[in-house]
Structure 1
């Protein structure tokens, strides 16, 4: 079982659960090879009336992140944790704060620079319908043009406008982003997206690939409406996987 520690006295049960889930997501991103040293971020909203969020301590590898090491910040990336000793990269929270503040239901936002995702973000058509997985994610995808390293707070408005009510954003020439009502939902969107990107990169290396019929695309688009619900089934299984590995994410 995963090594755990008692919830700190100053923390609500809801915040501790959010911390445990987000720490697990960091470990899983590392496990699947989607991390980028200490760069990119995964964030989660702290349940409650305040606009507080959890994000990784700056300079930590994803496979080092634990529930207690996550840092609580406000919408500007300012640390609000009592007695916090870890630092954060405020610039890294630019993208996350935009989505969290614009989408009240956005319980988690995951942003990656994984190679296959960046490659597909640079393809003129983005995700192509070359696999069942791709056909399931395509209806959820929006696009945002690259404007440089996300340091300009003015970009937040444009990013949110491009995302709209979609749950997946391809950041052109940059990476991938998913939104979920909770960490498990955001992670399942990212898993399906990254699998679609991996298959696309491999398929196009062999040639143009076979395209399905429009009828198949329409049918799968209708079926894709429930994609986020897959997280309810898959997330507990992923946590069991970490526990079997003896991961200490929950401490």
Structure 2
């Protein structure tokens, strides 16, 4: 299947360059000159992913993304931002952008990020319902059949990439998972990845799960190794898990 990219950017030079490069690498590409008509466009044309510039006249990328997510549209989005627009990047990620790329950029990097986001989305796509009882930790419940996360009974909005990451963690509780292992489980491929998609998923999970995302209790960092899911949120769990792993080795 040929993936279809919708590029939304008011700069004709960027549009032509990106369109030519992506088409030359087997992707279908259509363009939109600003964010004003994005939602209407998606009602009649359904691309695989949207590449969305932040700084545009009429309606900027942040407003366009906010409108999409408010309407419940979960289409993958990669933001294009000016290199200094840190606030825009953070806002975009909070609104539900899947990744961002700072201008000026190499089209090869954009292609790599597009493929990464699409692989992650394909890996998290619903398949046959899982015959597994809900998993509970703290005030949360993971419903595998419904592919939902609930907090004290209330559904927590969770994107497919974040659900896939959470599912891997809860299936491997109290096990230190390296970044390579997480990427392999998410994408079905081994190797080292330099993109930030895993960081984005974990960052979003922590914002949803943790009382203080800067001091996480459920998804804890194992410095120099990776991450560990601690269902009871206790401190000292990382050290105990590392000692147990070294004893079993």
TM-score by length of 2: 0.27
More strand by share: 2
TM-score by length of 1: 0.27
More helix by share: 1
